[in-house]
Amino acid sequence: MRRTIKKVDGKVILRSVPSPEVEHRVVGLLSQLMKRTPPEKIRAGIARTPVVLAKRIRPEKGEKLVEALTKMGANAAFVPLRPGEQEKLANGNLKPRVVEMPVDITPPPGRILKKWLRRTALALFLALAVLYAVVENMPLIYPDGISPIPQPDRAELSGLLPVGKTLPSLLSVHPLDMMDVQELQYRLPPDRRLLQVLASLAVQFEAMMIDGAARGRFRPGALQSDGTAVTIPLIIDNRVAAEIQVAQPITFPGVMAACATWISMMAAGADVVPPPQVPANAISGTAWAIRDVQGIDPRSILKGLGTLETLSRAHGPQWVILKAAARGYGYLHMSLFPDRTDARDQLAAHGLGLLALARWLAPETDLTMEEALLADQMGYTAHALNLIRGSAFYSTGPSDRLTAAYIMRDARLLSSPQKGGSDRMQRYLLARLHRELGQSRSAEILSDALLGAYPDLFPAMVEAIYSGPRDLADAVSRRFLWAVVSAVEDAASVGGHTPESLSETEKAPIPQEAFEALVNRTALPEGSQNGRILDNSLTRQVYRILYTGAMFLRFQLLLELRDFAGAAAVEDSLMSDSPLAMTLRAQILANTGKHEETAALAAKIVTDPDSSARLALQAVQLSGAIPKRLARLKDAARRMDDRPVNRFFMASLFQNIWYGDMAETFYTSGLREDPLRFSAYYELAGVTGSVSPIEAALAAYDRVAALHIAAGDFYAEQPDPEEAEKSLAYYKQADGLAPREATPALKTRRVLYRFGRKSEAATVLKEKLDQRTLSGSAELRLRVALADTYLDMKQPDNALAVIDPIQPVGGPEIALVMARVYEIQGNYKEAFAAYYETAQRFPKNRQVLAAAAGFNWRVGRFKVAADFVAAGRGTGMAGCRWYVDDFAFAVQDAPEKRLLSAVTYLRNAGSSLSEIRCLAFALEERRAFPASFTLMKSILEEGGGQDLDLAARTAVLLNAWKGEKTAGAFLNDRQKTPLPVEQAAILYRYGFFEKILDRLADVSVYPRKQREQARLIYLSAWLSSGRTPDSLDEGFKQHYRGSWLQRKMAQVTGYISSDPDHLAGRYLLGMIFRTELLERIDSPQLRCQYPYIVGLSKRAKGGFTDAAAWYQLSRESLQENCDEFGWATNEMFWWAHLGTRNRNRRLSADITAYTQTLIERTER
């Protein structure tokens, strides 16, 4: 049955009007239908077709209208209404619908789907627009990202900070503050003696100027510093009355100016003026006091200061008394040597306060010598030299001339004849000066003469202990200790009891507790509890220094003689928890091979607030390997202040951990204040890798033999033979300046041996002996060296003739020469007996045990040789350094089988694997590459060949020996495929960058979690090999650059990838700033990794000083298991051996340069 189609209403649409004629007819038709509408309006309405003529019309009418329009030539159509349109029109919505494009009367297929797609696309577009707006504006809403890493608050590290303020830990501080904290923890606080001087001045001023009526009115407040100046408030009656500022680093003129200002402020606060002063010779008794204070011995000086105290109470504050007292404290500081506890600081501050008061009382008075003496004793020698060079002391008294000569370190001037009872001072200063200049034989002669002339003089005993023969030093050290105790028992009497013969010195040392009780019962004659110039507390301080100094000297001598039981008895006599006692105990532990216990005790010493700077330095040196020294470095810095000697201490600490830039800074700063510390010039030359510091010093002090020796040593260590040859001229100059010394000739022999010129070396030594300027220990050393040279030349008869004059002396040196004579003569039976007998006679002498082992290695008796090494180990000779020369001389050129046999016996006798490694590296330093390689390979095989770190280190040796190809082949056999990132990190550490770039190019073979680490190692190797980021593969860079969406998301999250290695790579490529990198640190490991990355970027640009600072920051994290810790340490090791002037952007170039500096050695 046919369905009836119901017609629906529709609309008439005029689609187009093709011509004006048709338009005219259409307008006429429509005007008839719409009579109220003007024709012009109708014409305008149909001008833009299509247009709806009827929105709803019956189908019949609509079709008629369309037919009429069509006949007129127009294009029109009737379109049925859709359901929705019908509903709207039915509801009365008669608003005209927007004209649409012509549509077919039949609805198109998929119309609903297309509508849904249009609406979905619109919604998606709107969502993306909103998301884009959010992403673009999120950084404004969340400046730290949507999920910032929690960080501590930024530390207040600028401006005035309290001196001694505890700094936050590098592991807990905000990452952006890490570098500032590191710099601050090594910024030494002002010289503590400055505050002590001001405090002492306050007490002295009250006692002298206001008669102590209101004791405690004046005192200094807490110090504050911003690194350029220190601010010290003056507190009067418990309120801050004024402040002074002293520029940093502290200088002696700055201290003196501060003292003058301080006194003026106190005088203004107390409303006092200097009292009238008397002429220089008006006070009877002053001359006697001056004679006593110039007596050098602390007991004599104390007597003179006691006399000045009495005169001060009788005559009031007079410049002449204070001047003599200031000089007395300068000499007292000089005579109280050694002092390992910095207890002399109080005495120096007191003397400087008296000097400042004397200048305030009599501004026109000449106090140049007193100021120069105190400045020199406090380490500010440059200022002392400026004072002396600007004054004429040659017309003054002998004590002034001698003191000036000593301050200038002028041995010739100091040796010139003097009159006026100055013999004691002259002898003492000469002995001390030659010891300080390193002229050991001259010091031995002079100290022996000094002790002979003044056997009861404390400083004479000290010089004899330092410079005399060891048997004499042993006896004198016992005597000195009991002489100090006797002096205290006699209540500081000048004629105090001392043992009359050495037979009285067999007693055990008095315990420190008992000595302290004795000191506290001692009263100073003619003194008082609150003396102006000297009181009981200062006197007791003097005797405490003497006691600890005597105990220290006795201990060091016993340690040198390897009498550990005797040394332990001395240490037990001290208070067990005192830093000095702990340091002595740590030395015993270190010398007996107990390294872990030593390190633990060193940590306790360096963190003890009572430890002196010197003890802290020694504790760090006893801490063990580099990581442990790094852990103690910050604590050691807290024990120090900015006095010149501490700058040298800090330089030494940094030099020993391979931070050359900071060592250079401290050496330079120290030499600015103390230019006569000649050993520092050699150390500075080593740090910089340049002879310039020594040459500059020679230009100013060309009469100092030690500087010529330092220059010779520097050139002798150069790999270029022409450079090394220059050392001979310097040694010859040193020999002319110090004719009593054997050292220049012996060093000349060493250089000539390097060139194989043994005959010439023998001639040099013989000519030196023929000059007859040598005697005692110097002659012994030279004759033994000449005998050894003859024996190396197979001339035993000449060797016997050389030692014949000194054979009655005996000793281990002569015995060893005789044993070698038998060996060279081929009389091995006698040689065996001689070496064995010598070892039995001197069982604790490392030279004897090493020589006996060396002989047995040479003749193939490896088990006996190993037994001698084991014997040395049993007496505390740890490691391999004490016998490596004899080992190398015997076996470095031996066949591999013979060398390995010697090592096997060493292992069987108890030598550890680390000791064999020590031998291997020591052989490498001698350029004995074949022997070193054999040992390293044997160690690798013993460990199953799995130690890639040692394998890579062995490859470094092979590279220096046989070239890069052989080294690469050696490594190839030990590498896995694909190359594990752990192995890649080891290869990077030793500069094998080409292997990394070859094996890590495709990271897709690695697990996803390791890919970023592999990429970072690849990128680091790329930069460290001297390449630039621009030459990297574009795809590699694009990975770090990220897509547009990743970059936009990174604005919110702070990273493109959450992997820390990815962020590090972006920094190396310059895609982010350093702050963005550091702010993402959220673990101790990243506090190690990211500073290294920053340092690497600096190195790649040639900023070596900045790179070293960041490498040091990486190491300060103490994350030893982090790859970057090892990388930073290794790079600083190479730099330390090349010097700060000779660094390279490419790590491999540093390693190559290091191996080229190694010198082949042929002498024992």
Cis omega (within 30 of 0) on the bond before 978?
yes
| 242 beta partners | 234
Burial class (CB in 10 A: 0-12, 13-18, 19+), 119: exposed
The pLDDT of residue 422 is 87
Neighbours of 813 (CB within 10 A): 22
Tokens standing for residue 561: 């003689």
Tokens standing for residue 223: 């110090």
Report the distance separating Cα 1156 and Cα 1145, nearest Å.
17
Report the distance separating Cα 871 and Cα 961, nearest Å.
35
Q: Taking CA 348 as the corner, what is the angle to CA 344 and CA 349, rounded to the nearest 5 degrees?
A: 115
Neighbours of 209 (CB within 10 A): 21
Burial class (CB in 10 A: 0-12, 13-18, 19+), 992: buried
Tokens standing for residue 761: 């070396």
The pLDDT of residue 598 is 93
The pLDDT of residue 494 is 39
Under a CB-based contact definition with an 8 Å cutoff, are residues 13 and 50 in contact?
A: yes
The pLDDT of residue 87 is 57
Tokens standing for residue 807: 């054979």
Give residue-wise pLDDT tens across range 268-280.
988 899 999 999 8
pTM of this structure = 0.87
Residue with tokens 């064999």: 916
Tokens standing for residue 484: 């100090």
Give residue-wise pLDDT tens across range 766-792.
999 999 888 888 999 999 999 999 999
Report the distance separating Cα 318 and Cα 764, nearest Å.
61
Closest CA to 906 of 859, 850, 865: 865
Q: 3-state SS string over 1103-1148?
A: CHHHHHHHHHHHHHCCCCCCHHHHHHHHHHHHHHHHCCCCCCCCHH
Burial class (CB in 10 A: 0-12, 13-18, 19+), 32: exposed
Closest CA to 820 of 847, 839, 841, 792: 792
Closest CA to 1022 of 1064, 1057, 1068, 1061: 1068
Side chain identity at residue 287, one-letter code: A
Under a CB-based contact definition with an 8 Å cutoff, are residues 691 and 716 in contact?
A: no
The pLDDT of residue 500 is 40
Q: What ranges in 390-438 are assigned the alpha helix state H?
A: 398-407, 411-415, 423-436
Give the 3-state secondary structure of residue 438.
coil
Tokens standing for residue 1022: 């790329």
The pLDDT of residue 85 is 65
Report the distance separating Cα 1027 and Cα 1029, nearest Å.
7
Residue with tokens 């280190």: 953
Tokens standing for residue 1089: 């990794």
Tokens standing for residue 1054: 């702070």
Tokens standing for residue 446: 């002079």
Report the distance separating Cα 398 and Cα 420, nearest Å.
7
Q: What contacts 24+ positions apart, CB below 8 Å, involve 71-75?
A: 72/22, 72/25, 72/26, 72/29, 73/18, 73/19, 73/21, 73/22, 73/25, 74/14, 74/16, 74/17, 74/18, 74/22, 74/26, 75/14, 75/15, 75/16, 75/17, 75/18
CA atoms within 13 A on the CB side of 517: 5
Under a CB-based contact definition with an 8 Å cutoff, are residues 378 and 370 in contact?
A: no
Report the distance separating Cα 1141 and Cα 967, nearest Å.
29
Give the 3-state secondary structure of residue 220.
strand
The pLDDT of residue 97 is 45
Instruction: Please report, in angstroms and rounded to a whole number, the separation of the first and last CA atoms in the chain.
Output: 128
Under a CB-based contact definition with an 8 Å cutoff, are residues 1069 and 1040 in contact?
A: yes
H/E stretch holding 1059 reads none
DSSP state of 805: G
Report the distance separating Cα 136 and Cα 149, nearest Å.
21
The pLDDT of residue 94 is 45
Give the 3-state secondary structure of residue 243.
strand
Under a CB-based contact definition with an 8 Å cutoff, are residues 265 and 251 in contact?
A: no
Give residue-wise pLDDT tens across range 151-192.
888 888 888 888 888 888 999 999 999 999 999 999 999 999
Tokens standing for residue 529: 């509890």
Side chain identity at residue 337, one-letter code: F
Mark residue 334 as left, alpha or beta (left: phi above 0; alpha: psi -120 to 50; beta: remaining). alpha
- Where are the strands (E) in 121-248, listed by range? 161-162, 218-220, 224-225, 229-236, 239-247
Give the 3-state secondary structure of residue 187.
coil
The pLDDT of residue 523 is 67
* Mean pLDDT of each 10-residue bin along the chain, 1164 residues long: 61 84 83 81 82 83 84 85 63 46 52 81 88 71 66 84 86 93 93 93 88 76 91 92 92 95 93 91 90 94 93 92 96 96 95 96 93 97 92 73 94 87 93 96 96 96 96 94 88 43 52 89 60 89 95 95 92 94 95 90 94 95 89 92 96 96 97 96 97 96 96 95 95 96 96 94 95 89 95 95 89 93 94 95 93 94 95 86 91 91 93 91 91 92 83 91 90 84 91 90 88 93 90 89 75 76 93 92 94 95 96 94 93 95 92 88 68
What Å distances lie between residue 982 and 768, 949, 1021, CA to CA?
A: 58, 10, 14
Report the distance separating Cα 907 and Cα 914, nearest Å.
11
Report the distance separating Cα 104 and Cα 107, nearest Å.
7
